[in-house]
Amino acid sequence: MDLTPYLETLRGDLAAAAAPAGPETTRAAELLGHALEASARLALLEALSDAAAEITTRLPEASVEVRLRGREADLVVTQHAPSPPVPPSPPAAPVPPDSGDLSRLTLRMPESLKTHVEQTAAAEGISVNAWLVRAVTAAVQASAPPSFPFNPPGSPSGSSKRVTGFFQA
C-alpha cells in the first residue's frame, strides 16, 4: 500500500487552507507540508498497525500484520491451522471421604519428574499439591496393586527391592 497519495492529499488540503491568506502563507504551508511528511507517514503506519491488531483479535484463525518495504506498507493476512479440539479430561477419580484431618508428607523425586508434574498440573489449572493428591487417590483406588520391585530412575535394574522414604504425620 503506497501511502504517498494520502500524504499528497494532506499537503493539498493544507495548501488550499492557506491559499486565501496570500502567497507567503501558501509558501509556508507548502514548506510545512513537506516537513510534516515523515510524521504524517509514521502516524498513518501506527493507525494501520492498530487496525491490523484490532482485526487480528476478531479473527479466530488468522492474523493481520503490517510489513514495511521501503516507504510502502503491506497488509499481510496469515491463516492459522485450526487448533485441534482439546480432548475431554478423564473423569477425576472419586476421592475417599475427607475426615478433615490433613497430614504433611515430604516427597522426593527426580528433578525431571518434578518438572513434568508441575507442567501437567499447570496445564490442568490446578496446584501441584492438588494434582498429586488426585494421582495418589487414583493409584490407591486402582484395582491392580503397583508392581514391585520399584527401581527409581537412575538405579541399576536389580537394585534393592526396598522402598524407603520419609513420612511425618
Region 84-91 average pLDDT: 67
- DSSP 8-state secondary structure symbol assigned to residue 103: -
- Give the model's pLDDT for residue 144: 55
Take residue 15 and report the three cell numbers written for it.
Answer: 495548501
Residue 136 sits at φ, ψ, to 5 deg, of -65, -40
- C-alpha span between 111 and 73 (Å, rounded): 49
Domain match, 73 and 125 both: no
Domain end, chosen from 38, 61, 79, is at 79
Residue for grid cell 493544507: 14
Q: Identify the helix (H) or strand (E) that includes residue 63.
A: strand 62-69
- Asked which of 7-16, 40-49, 101-110 is least confident by mean pLDDT, the reply is 101-110
131 is in which domain, residue-wise?
Answer: 111-141
What mean pLDDT comes out for the span 131-155?
67
Q: How far is CA 64 from CA 8, 24, 31, 93, 119, in A?
A: 26, 45, 36, 44, 31
Q: Judge if 67 and 129 occupy the same domain.
A: no
| Count of the separate structural domains present in the chain | 2
Name the amino acid, one letter, at 44: L
**What's residue 95's pLDDT?**
52
If asked whether residues 64 and 19 sit together in one domain, one would say yes
Please report whether residue 152 resides in a domain: no
User: 39-60 burial, b for 16+ CB within 10 Å, e for fewer?
Assistant: ebbeebeeebeeebeeeeeeee
Same domain flag for 130 and 65:
no
